[in-house]
Amino acid sequence: MGKKVRGGRLPGFRLRGRIWIEGPDGTFLGYGRVVLLERIRDYGSISAAARSMSMSYRHAWRLVESMNRQGRYPVVEKRTGGRGGGGAVLTETGRHAIASFWKAYHEFREYMLERSAHLDL
């Protein structure tokens, strides 16, 4: 009655995955980008956001550029100069993008959790 000779489940193995939103020019939104957007929202500047997640400013800036360029509307509005040197704030589009991504993301986590259960190896 043992179905197969193979020793059964491999304990340490699990199904993993990731999702992202792709635009005309490659990735538009992914986990890292969304976290970056949230930090920008919380800290009010790209550089502070980058520092807070130990990412280089240059990299963070490029990510924001990529997101802003792809959509019809920018996700981040940037101001140079002025009090405190300037800063950056989320647009309504940006806030909406974050919400959309998290929604898809959490549904996906749910799915993966459920699906991992009947993974037979």
Closest CA to 19 of 117, 119, 104: 104
Q: Work out whether 79 is an interface residue with a copy of itself (CB under 8 A).
A: no
Q: Is 79 in the site for DNA (CB under 7 A)?
A: yes
Spatial CB neighbours of 43, under 8 Å, sequence gap ≥ 6: 49, 52
Q: In angstroms, what is the minimal distance from the CB of 71 to DNA?
A: 16
Rule CB under 8 A: is residue 106 a binding residue for a copy of itself? no
The only residue of 29, 37, 46, 90 in contact with DNA, by rule CB under 7 A: 46
Q: Which does 35 bind (CB under 5 to 8 A by kind): a copy of itself, DNA, none?
A: none
Query: Among 30, 70, 63, which Cα is nearest to 49's?
Result: 63
Nearest to 37 by CA among 26, 17, 18, 21: 21
Does residue 25 belong to the site contacting DNA (CB under 7 A)?
no
Q: Which residues bind DNA (CB under 7 A)?
A: 45-48, 55-59, 61, 64, 78-88
